[in-house]
Amino acid sequence: MRIAVDAMGGDHAPDEIVRGALLYRASGGAAEVILVGDPARLPAPSDGISVVAAREIVEMGEHPGAALRRRGGTSIGIATRLVRDGHADAVVSAGNTGATMAAALLILGRVRGIDRPALCGMLPTTKGGPACLLDAGATMDATAQHILQFARMASRFMERVHRIERPTVGLLNVGEEPEKGGRMQLEAHELLRGAADLNFYGNVEGRDILRGTTDIVVTDGFTGNTVAKAMEGVLDVMTDGIRRDIFGGALGKVAAAVAMPGIRRFRAHMDYEPYVSAPLLGVNGVSVVTHGRARARMLKLAIDVAERSISSGLIASLGVAA
């Protein structure tokens, strides 16, 4: 098993990406890791770690399409081609999500039977364990049929990679009642309710996501992306507020020292690193996207997800009709 890692993608590339790959190997990871990037900035090949040169890098703010058309070949483009050509079984990137998706779609193509790809936004829940919010931004104008496909793909992913039996599926909506929502949601509700292979719970609301009301929350890519970023915004504002208002200043520092065990508990509850990495579902190969902020530990966990996606036969399970 071989996993190509885009060594140049992410806020802390390449150093933290390399450290993550070494951590994965040191922790007994079963796959060989192929680091794709600038050899001058990468370590020499070692046991279970090889290097493939890529001269160009896609910057975080760059337009994905333009980036992939660059002559020299970008690290994400080359890493994805390794999968297409059978030199690797999966690609992992903390880089520009748009470019990772574009590379996967253009180079790997779609799984047969799947019309549009979907990105899992993985979140921790107060119930414990992860929830998958999808589509988190791959397909903007999703139809009800696409939503049904997303729900099926996410169910296979949660079963195989997170080992949740018969994961529950909620349709993101403005209310619990089946008659809520716009035209697309009404139609999607009907399709999901009629799908015997899904464990459909019904409609869920935005506040259910973190509660873990269902294992999977399905929506279109526009709503999913907007909701995920809005939630991240609240998290940032709250975290800043706690740091500045409550624990800032002399008195705050004393309080923080006293509260330290509690602060550690709080951080542990909010820890999403074990879940945040997820494959782009619907492309014909394992392409795992992780957070741009990823440091070594998160990168290591992303390689774990890629490994489990390969070994569980995730991709082959996705296109199977109900």
Hunting for tokens 């590339």 — which residue is that? 13
> Which one of 46, 233, 316, 320 is in contact with a second copy (CB under 8 A)?
233
Which of the 8 DSSP states describes residue 283? B
Count of residues of this chain found to bind a second copy when the rule CB under 8 A is applied: 61
Query: Which of 146, 81, 145 is CA-nearest to residue 285?
Result: 81
User: Of residues 133-152, which lie at the interface with a second copy (CB under 8 A)?
Assistant: 137, 140-141
Q: How far is 232 from 227, CA to CA, in rounded Å?
A: 9
Q: Which is nearer to a second copy, 46 or 266 (CB)?
A: 266
Pairing, β 49-53 against β 278-281: unpaired
Binding mask 45-84 for a second copy (x = CB under 8 A): ------------------x---------------------
Helix (H, G, I), strand (E, B) or coil at 23: helix
User: What would the two tokens of residue 161 be?
Assistant: 């990679």
> Which one of 9, 95, 130, 181 is in contact with a second copy (CB under 8 A)?
181
We find the least distance from the C-beta atom of residue 217 to a second copy, in angstroms, to be 10
Cβ(116)–Cβ(294) below 8 Å: no
**Contact range with a second copy by CB under 8 A, out of 78-86, 205-213, 291-299, 311-319:** 205-213
Contact call for residue 228 and a second copy (CB under 8 A): yes
Cβ(49)–Cβ(25) below 8 Å: yes
**Contact range with a second copy by CB under 8 A, out of 48-56, 150-158, 180-188, 272-280:** 180-188
Q: Which is nearer to a second copy, 15 or 59 (CB)?
A: 59
Contact call for residue 254 and a second copy (CB under 8 A): yes
Query: Which of 312, 309, 283 is CA-nearest to residue 84?
Result: 283
